[in-house]
A and B are shown apart, each in its own frame.
Chain A
C-alpha cells in the first residue's frame, strides 16, 4: 500500500467540465444544415465569421467617422524609444496613440466606419448601448474583414471609449483604443479636444473652459515585441477532429495572463519619473476657468488617483450624467475631497468638474496597483497650472 499520508496518493472525486458534443444537433439552420454543440463552441472560440455586412436599417447619417488599422513602431517610450503599436487611425491620418478621439453629438445619427486591409479586427464602442449587430464583438457577432458601418443614435452626452474587441487581451494593450466623447446638443458641438465646450450636469448643460482628457495606461513592453495578431488564440492550433481544442498549457504558452507593466503613460505620454509637463497632458488654465477632466483607466492595473489640493465634482460615470432624467433619476453628482485618493479599474470613466480657487500648480498623482498582489508597480504625476 502506498504511503496514505500523502495527499497526492488519494483517488479523488472529480468535478467534470461540461462536454462539447460533436453529434448533438441544436437546431437546423436556414440552409437546412444541422448546427451542433461543437459548431457553437467553434463559433465562440475560434471560427468567428469574418464578414463585411450591410448595416441593418441603415439611414442617412448626421455625422461620420472612419478608422483603419495600423501596426507601427511609435516613439512612445520614455526618452523617445520606439515600441510596436497596433492602433486605429483616420484613413488619411498618421499613426497615433491613443487613437484619434471620436467626437459625436447627442441625438444625432452616427456612422462609425471601420476599414480593415488585412487581418480582422473590430471596433467596440464601449458604453454605447446599441444593438448586438453594431457591438463589435466577435464571439457574439462577427469580426470585420473589409469594412463595416456601425450605426448609433447616442442618447446622452458623456465620456466613452472605443477599442478593438478581437483577442482583446492583446489588442487593447497594444494600443487599439481612443476616447469616444458625446457632446450635448448645443451650438458648436462637437467640440475640439482640449478646448472650451459644454457638458451635462444633472438636467443642465454647463460650460467649461478647458478640457483634460487623461487616458491612464501602462505597457508591458514584453507584449509589444513584434507579435502575431492571433497570439494566444486557439485558432492556429485548431484541429477540428479534436473536440477540446485549446492552446497547449504549460510554460510554452504566450503568457497573456501575466501582465508586468514597465512603462506608465497618460494619453500616450510616458512618465520619466518627473511630473509630466507635456501640453498634451498637463493642463494650463486661467484663474477662474472651469476645467472638465475626462479620466479613463485604459490599463490593466488598479489605478489610484489623488488631487492633493483640489476638490472635484464627478458629474458623469461611464457616460451616464448623474441626476440626468430619465436614466439618471436615481443618481446624484458627488464630490471627491482634496487629498482623498480614489480608484478606478480597467475601462471605467469619470467626468469631473473643478474650478480651482488658487493660482499655482495643482498636482494630479497616480499609483498603479497590481491587479492580483495589490502592490504598487508604478506611479506618475502631472498637474494643472492655474495662471
Chain B
C-alpha cells in the first residue's frame, strides 16, 4: 500500500485551516489561510516523511498531512471559533496504530494501519490547544505527530470565553486613551494579531532507531527515552536563521498594535523562552486563564506546556531617548530565544541555529495601519551599512531600495 513518493514539500512555516463561516473568522496570521465552510471536512493523514533539519540533515519523522498542504511538521494549524463544528477525516497511512487527540476535547482512539475514521467535535472554549498522537507516549508525538489549534471565543474582546477580572481589565484598557494613554497608546487587540511559537526538539539517533525497527513494531518508550539527547531545536517547524526570518513566526507591528503570542511545547525539553526589548503579560497557562497576569521577560515551557502571552507593543520602557533620532534604526528587531541555551545549537554547536526568532517594531508611529514595506523595508537590523550611517538623520535618498520583503523565506 506504500506509494513511492519523491515529492518535496517546502517547509514554509505555518499553514492554517480555518473552520466555519468566512465572516466569523478574522484574517489569521496568513492572508492565504485555507478556509473550510461550516460542515466542511479536513482530510488529515498520518504518514512517514524525511524532515530536513537546519543543516539539511534529513531525519526520519512521522507527520500529519492535510489534503491541501501535504505533510507538515507541525501539522496544519487548526483555527476555529468557539462552538463551530470541526470535522476531520483521519487516515492512518502507517504500519502501526496512530491517533489524534486534544486532551479534554477529543480523542480518536487508535486507528489501525490503513484505517480511516471521521471525527466531529465542537470547537471548545477560546484558547490555545495542542493536538497530537497520544499513543505509545511520548514516542508518537515526539516523532512529529503534533500541531496547534487556536479557538477564538464566541464573544468578547479577549482571547478567552471566560476571562478573569484582571485579564478582562487588561484588554478593556487597550486603545482606551482615557485610562492609560502612556502605556496602551494605540489600538485595541485585533484578533488577527496572533503568532504561534511551537517548540520541539529532535534526537535524530532515536528517530533512526525507530526507522530501523520492523514495520509495525512499536518501540518501547523506555528504550526511546533512555539516553534521549536532542540535537535539533525547532520553533514552529524551523530553526535558527529560518525561524528568525519567517514573518509568520516573528511578530511585527507598530507601537500600539498589541498582539498575542501563543507558545506550546511538543518536545521533551523544558524551555525557558526569553524575549528582548519588551516584557509580556502571561495571560494563560495550560489552558487556564491567569488570575494574576503578571509581566515577565522569560517564562517556563515544560513538555506539553501551553503559555499564552500578551505583547503590548509599547515603546521599549528603558530606552532613552525614544524614538531614536535615526529613523534607520527602524524596523527595529529584537531576538527571542530559549535561555536554556543548549536549545540554541544545532548538531552540537552552530549557535544560534536552534529555537530562536525575532520580533520587530515596524515603525515608531503609534497604532495601525502597520508601516508599509516601502516606508520601512525590513532590513531587520542586518544591514551592515546601517552602522556607517548612524549619525545621518532621516532615511534620505541613500539608495535603500526594497526589492522584496527581505524575509528570506520565499
Binding site for B on A (CB under 8 A): 4-8, 10-18, 20, 24-32, 35, 37, 40-41, 43-45, 49, 51, 53-54, 56-57, 59, 109, 124, 126-135, 137, 139-142, 151-156, 167-170, 172-173, 231-234, 244, 246-250, 253-259, 297, 300, 302, 317-320, 322, 326-332, 334, 343-348, 369, 371-374
Main SS at interface, chain A: loop
- Give Cα distance in the complex from A372 to B199, angstroms: 13
Decide: A11 and B348 in contact? CB cutoff 8 A.
no
Is B51 part of the binding interface, using a Cβ–Cβ cutoff of 8 Å? yes
Query: Chain B residues near A169 (CB, 8 Å)?
Result: 341-342, 344-345, 351
Which positions 269-287 of chain B face chain A at CB distance < 8 Å? Answer: 269-272, 274, 276-279, 281
> Which residues of B282-298 have CB atoms within 8 Å of chain A's CB atoms?
292-298
Are A130 and B316 interface neighbours, CB within 8 A? yes
- Taken together as a complex, chains A and B put the C-alpha atoms of A326 and B169 apart, in Å, by 13
- A371-B47 CB under 8 A given contacts A28-B400, A246-B55, A300-B341: no
A59, A256, A332, A369: the one within 8 Å of B345 (CB): A256
Residues of A within 8 A of B66 (CB): none
CB neighbours of B296 from chain A (8 A): 317-318, 320, 348
**27 A–B contact pairs at CB < 8 A?**
A6-B215, A12-B49, A13-B7, A13-B9, A15-B49, A18-B246, A26-B406, A29-B385, A49-B387, A127-B279, A168-B337, A168-B341, A168-B351, A231-B349, A246-B347, A249-B55, A254-B349, A256-B341, A256-B345, A257-B229, A258-B229, A258-B342, A317-B295, A328-B295, A331-B292, A345-B298, A346-B272
Please determine whether A17 and B324 come into contact, CB atoms closer than 8 angstroms.
no
Residues of B within 8 Å of A152, CB to CB, are 318-320
A343 touches B300 (CB 8 A): yes
Min distance, Cβ B177 to any Cβ of chain A, angstroms = 13
User: A-B pairs with the 3 shortest C-beta distances?
Assistant: A232-B349, A253-B348, A345-B272
Interface residues on B, range: 35 or more
CB-CB nearest in chain B for A4: B2
A residues within 8 A CB of B201?
Answer: 372
Instruction: Please determine whether A30 and B389 come into contact, CB atoms closer than 8 angstroms.
Output: yes
B361 — nearest CB in chain A belongs to which residue? A132
Question: Which residue in A20, A32, A126 is a CB contact (below 8 Å) of B274?
Answer: A126
Q: Do residues A153 and B345 form an inter-chain contact, with CB atoms below 8 A?
A: no
Pick out which of these stretches binds chain A: B33-41, B103-111, B129-137, B206-214.
B206-214
The answer to whether A330 touches B170 (Cβ under 8 A) is: yes
The answer for the CA separation of A44 and B400 in the assembled complex, in Å, is 20
B229 contacts A27, C-beta separation under 8 Å: no
Known contacts A30-B399, A330-B167; decide if A16 and B9 are in contact (CB<8 Å): yes
Question: Is B294 touching A322 in the complex (CB atoms < 8 A)?
Answer: yes
Are B319's CB and A153's CB within 8 A?
Answer: yes
Given contact pairs A30-B399, A328-B294, A371-B340, A128 touches B351 in the complex (Cβ within 8 A): no
In angstroms, how far is the closest chain A Cβ from the Cβ of B23? 31
> Do A371 and B2 touch (CB < 8 A)?
no
Min CB–CB distance A56 → chain B (angstroms)? 5
Is there contact, CB below 8 Å, between B294 and A11? no
Closest-CB distance, A333 to chain B (whole angstroms): 9
Query: Nearest Cβ distance between residue A339 and chain B, in whole angstroms?
Result: 21
Bound CA–CA A35/B191 (angstroms): 35
Nearest chain B CB to A128 CB, angstrom units: 5
B162 within 8 A of A: no
Known A-B contacts A126-B274, A322-B294; the reply to A27 vs B401 at CB < 8 A is yes
How far does the Cβ of B360 sit from chain A's closest Cβ, in whole Å? 9
Determine which of B229, B380, B385, B386 lies in contact with A372 in the assembled complex, contact meaning CB atoms within 8 Å.
Answer: B229
> Quick one: closest A residue to B409, CB to CB?
A18
